[in-house]
Amino acid sequence: MSNELRDKALKYLWMQNRDWSQMAEIGDPPVFVKGEGIRVTDTEGNTYIDVNAGYNSVNVGYGRSEIAEEIYKQMLEVNYFPEGSTTKPTIELAKKLSDLTPGDLSRVFPVSGGSEANETALKIARAYHVKNGDINRNKIISRRGSYHGTTAGVLWLGGGPPVASRDDFEPMYPNMLHAPQPNSYRCEFNSLNNSECAIKSANAIEDLIKFHGPNTIAAVIAEPIAIPQGAIVPGDEYWPMLREICDKYGVLLIADEVICGFGRTGKMFAIEHWGITPDIMTVAKGIISSYLPLAATIVSKKVADKFADENNYFKHTLTNSGHPVSAAAALKNIEILENENIIDNSAKMGKYLKEQLEVLKTDHQIIGDVRGIGLLVAFEIVSDRKTKSLFSSDLSIPDRLTEKFFKHGLIFRVSNEILNIGPPLSITRSEIDEIVHAIDLSLWELEGELGLPVND
């Protein structure tokens, strides 16, 4: 059965970021048939811990029958909606999101995924300025090394490593500008601490605005905690400065909470760590714990009101926008997050996980940095801590680590020197110990193969 399914996958399925010829050589892809909590079971009965909860997205964990029951119930009632109408769960979800989000974020445009949410945010930002008469405000500032999706427009947000190569999709969309990442471990300004890097990185965005002309800039988009570069938590000065800079020049501020939102960082939304309100917020993944496709673009009243009459309505349509079954599932998912104190668990378990990774750092010289907040943490592999230099690509460190993690019971795919960890938010202390122990064993094996000395 398992070999037959695998053969069909290799022949017919185009998987994300995988090469079927290489998968065939190594016996991939694994095919999973059951999930419960943080664990998944394959067709051969082997059980593994899903270290990154799908795509940092199965926040309440696998196997929540309550969500499945809500999906079934809604499908029996009304599974879709006539054109120009809506449904009860979609309305209730919009109201719930308005209640949860900070400040005057209150108008919700539901979509199917994070890329669509960010595409929608960019269209809203540009259209908002047009309706204000600022027809030249069409440039978007994002940060190097950020990730905001893979559809044609948002693909060009963020620039440079560790985001996957975009060479196959040239030419680059026009009017995309890139600013430094407030990553104190590899700060572009060689800053001495997190605070200095945050201030200089925020000032660099203001410099970009002034250089290109404020009347050309539509929006700044950023993840509160940058994911591809490894759970970058900026200094506390950064986000308040961005808010002040955007207000100063009439630029909209977009917070991409696609991964950070719904408890991942120990608060409902990561932006709450700094007490500011963006003009637009995008959410996905944790909103429904990936039980069905769903995301949303949530807009402040100030921005949304520009689209409030028949001559100014937002010209944007997606077939599955506001799907009632997804909305019902999301409402149940949010209910679980709230009623079971899962967000508080994320804060506590995230702190414990980070502490345990710091312990590993003392034992393994190839760990250069440990960072993150809540259950969005990362560690970075280096060949030399002092210089922060990386291992040669010829050593295939990512592939070797992925293989070792799998051998020790972890689904933990590694694509570069930055290892992100984002398990289900329902994880327990003992389950964190299992993950850390498997990472520990894998690193010892790798260091032995590389002939590295043992730390004193």
Summarised one tens digit per residue, pLDDT across range 100-109 is 999 999 999 9
Residue 275 has pLDDT above 60, yes or no: yes
Other C-beta atoms lying within 10 Å of the C-beta of residue 162? 14
Look up residue 453 and give its DSSP letter.
P
Mean pLDDT of 261-274: 98
d(CA 255, CA 106): 14
pLDDT per residue as tens digits for the range 39-79: 999 999 999 999 999 999 999 999 999 999 999 999 999 99
**Which phi and psi angles does 252 have, rounded to 5°?**
-80, 145
Residue position matching structure tokens 């308005």: 98
Q: Which amino acid is at 409?
A: G
Other C-beta atoms lying within 10 Å of the C-beta of residue 147? 23
For residues 274 and 260, is the Cβ–Cβ distance under 8 A? no
The DSSP H or E segment spanning 118 is: helix 114-131
Residue 456 has pLDDT above 60, yes or no: no
**By percentage, how much of the chain surpasses pLDDT 70?**
98
360: tokens are 């590993």
* Residue 161: band (very low, low, confident or very high) from pLDDT cuts 50, 70, 90: low
pLDDT value at residue 242: 98
Number of residues that make up the chain: 456
Mean pLDDT of 230-256: 98
Domains of the chain, CATH where assigned: 31-63+341-450 (3.90.1150.10), 66-339 (3.40.640.10)
pLDDT value at residue 281: 98
Residue 30 has pLDDT above 70, yes or no: yes
* Residue 301: band (very low, low, confident or very high) from pLDDT cuts 50, 70, 90: very high
Instruction: Please provide the distance, in angstroms rounded to a whole number, between the alpha carbons at the two ends of the chain.
Output: 49
69: tokens are 């029951």
For residues 254 and 222, is the Cβ–Cβ distance under 8 A? yes
* Residue 309: band (very low, low, confident or very high) from pLDDT cuts 50, 70, 90: confident
pLDDT value at residue 269: 98
Bridge partners for 176 per DSSP = 140
d(CA 112, CA 284): 8
3-state DSSP helix/strand/coil % of the chain, to nearest 5? 45, 15, 40
Q: What is the pTM of this model?
A: 0.95
Residue of 189, 183, 192 whose CA lies nearest to 204? 189
d(CA 232, CA 234): 6
pLDDT value at residue 320: 93
Mean pLDDT of 285-313: 95
pLDDT value at residue 244: 98
d(CA 216, CA 213): 6
Residue 83 has pLDDT above 60, yes or no: yes
pLDDT value at residue 455: 61
pLDDT value at residue 338: 98
Mean pLDDT of 78-104: 97
Helices (H), 148-214: 194-212
pLDDT value at residue 79: 96
Mean pLDDT of 322-349: 98
Tell me how far CA of residue 170 lies from CA of 14, 61, 158, in angstroms: 22, 38, 15
For residues 60 and 424, is the Cβ–Cβ distance under 8 A? yes
Please, what is the angle between helix 324-339 and helix 88-100, to 10°? 40
For residues 114 and 155, is the Cβ–Cβ distance under 8 A? no
Residue of 269, 225, 229, 290 whose CA lies nearest to 55? 290
- Using DSSP's 3-state secondary structure scheme, residue 71 falls into helix
Residue 162 has pLDDT above 80, yes or no: no
Helices (H), 295-453: 301-304, 324-339, 342-363, 397-407, 429-450
Residue of 186, 132, 125 whose CA lies nearest to 157? 125
Residue 271 has pLDDT above 70, yes or no: yes
For residues 294 and 284, is the Cβ–Cβ distance under 8 A? yes
pLDDT per residue as tens digits for the range 167-193: 777 888 889 999 999 999 999 999 989
Burial class of 137 by CB neighbour count within 10 A (0 to 12, 13 to 18, 19+): buried
The pLDDT mean for the chain works out to 94
pLDDT value at residue 160: 53
371: tokens are 């960072």
Residue position matching structure tokens 């190594």: 26
The residues, any chain, with a CB within 8 Å of residue 268's CB and separated by 6 or more, are: 100, 261, 262, 343
